[in-house]
Amino acid sequence: MAEGQPLPELSTQAEVQPQVPPFYRAVAENQKAWREVKHGLLGSHEMPRVSERIEHNMKQVFSEYIDPAYPRVILARAVLQDSSSPYETSFYRYGSEYGILPYPESVTPEDQQYYAHGIYALNEWATNYATRYYFTHTSKTPLTKSLRQLYTQAADALFGKAPYHQAYKHMAEVSKAAQATKNNFDHATFQALFQHDFTVLNALIANTPILEATNLDALAVAIGKQVVKPTKGSTPYYTHLIEKTVGSAVTAVAETPTDSSVKRSFKRTGKSLIQGGQFVMPGVAEVGIAAPIVAPVATILEGAALGEIERGLAVGGATLGTTAAIFAFTTIHETVHGYSTSDDHVGLIPEHLYSPPPKTDK
């Protein structure tokens, strides 16, 4: 394509740093370019100490699956999320941002849209699964472990299980089948998520009696069909409504080339409030602080408007604690996305990395 070149072409630069994998070089170049960009007051700002600490924990907790040499993912905080177009930047980007997704050969053209929906949902499930595992295995005392389990379960239910109900439902069945046969479900999940080796996970899916799917790709298609067209039977309709509502909300704040500057600003604000964070690009993850700021303040102001300042402060304080827990969960979630990427995958999702568009003289 005209806008960028596939990552394999980096092999022509092998003489620069032959010992460093091409993907790691791409990450380093992304981070260098990102740091050189001027970030406004409400834009992205690096949290170096947090990035360093989380990298240490990630490589300890998932030591079997993350390469010790994997570049540290930059974790940034932002009030308003970055809305720059991949066509206008000098960063390495994945093909999905250009409208390109390398579908597996087993997925027919008729099923591609279902697969895209399903594999995205499964990737969110796997990322949240790893996030909860991270919090459990970085606890230092039984008390903190119990508290972390409590708030991560709540955050996962709100931002994972609610919008991606079908993925959670099916993977719960795979987990039950794995336990029944004494297979290591954690290993299968993390090997697929971080190393993109689906051999064990595919075997577990195939051996789950209640599922008709025989591998991850087939399961993604099945989930996609259930999301697009609600199933009949025991599954409550509200779960499909939530999935549909979340998708509609995200679509509503997606920017288009024809949007005016004012409309883009409104959409960017809406996106920052709806999404707690985003995996920006290989090497950079971003967590939004707009929602944690707005939620408790709005609650306090509501109480004040009703003449119930004490109630507003009390509830606002509880809301602040809740949003702080959600902020922590989102922070690790986005970082897991960062460490589960390669030149051909973002977690469970097949991808293709493209180099920056060539610079042209204006």
Residue 145: inside a domain: yes
Identity at 28, one-letter amino acid code: A
Residue 18: inside a domain: no
Dihedral sign for Cα 117, 153, 191, 179, please: negative
Residue 286: inside a domain: yes
12 Cβ partners below 8 Å, 6+ apart?
A: none
Residue 161: inside a domain: yes
Query: What pLDDT is stored for residue 160 in this prediction?
Result: 85
Residue 254: inside a domain: yes
Query: What pLDDT is stored for residue 250 in this prediction?
Result: 40
Specify the long-range contacts of residues 340-345, CB closer than 8 Å, at least 24 apart: 340/127, 340/130, 340/193, 340/194, 341/279, 341/282, 342/23, 342/196, 343/7, 343/8, 343/22, 343/23, 343/26, 344/102, 344/196, 345/196
Residue 1: inside a domain: no
Which tokens in the block code for residue 59? 């490589």
Residue 200: inside a domain: yes
Neighbours of 156 (CB within 10 A): 19
Query: What pLDDT is stored for residue 212 in this prediction?
Result: 86
- Dihedral angle computed from the Cα positions of residues 284, 46, 130 and 127, in that order, rounded to the nearest 10 degrees: -40
Question: How far is the C-alpha of 244 from the C-alpha of 234, rounded, in Å?
Answer: 18
Query: What pLDDT is stored for residue 14 in this prediction?
Result: 37
Identity at 284, one-letter amino acid code: V
Q: Note the pTM of the prediction, 2 decimals.
A: 0.77
Residue 19: inside a domain: no
Q: Which residues constitute the domain of residue 189?
A: 7-12+24-354
Query: What pLDDT is stored for residue 247 in this prediction?
Result: 43
Which tokens in the block code for residue 2? 């005209």
The count of structural domains within the chain is 1
Q: What is the pLDDT along the chain (362 residues), one digit of tens a residue?
A: 334 444 444 433 334 445 889 999 999 999 999 998 867 666 678 889 999 999 999 999 999 999 999 999 999 887 765 555 555 678 899 988 878 889 999 999 999 999 999 999 999 999 999 999 999 998 877 767 777 777 788 878 877 888 899 999 999 999 999 999 999 999 999 999 999 999 999 999 999 999 989 999 999 999 999 986 544 433 333 233 333 334 443 444 344 555 454 444 433 433 433 344 577 789 999 887 655 454 444 444 444 444 444 444 444 444 445 556 777 888 899 999 999 999 999 999 999 999 887 665 54
Question: How far is the C-alpha of 212 from the C-alpha of 175, rounded, in Å?
Answer: 15
Look-up of token digits 């993907």: 23
- Vertex 75: Cα angle to 244 and 89 (nearest 5): 75
- Give the N- to C-terminal CA distance of the chain in Å, as an integer: 21
Question: How far is the C-alpha of 341 from the C-alpha of 74, rounded, in Å?
Answer: 13
Neighbours of 31 (CB within 10 A): 20
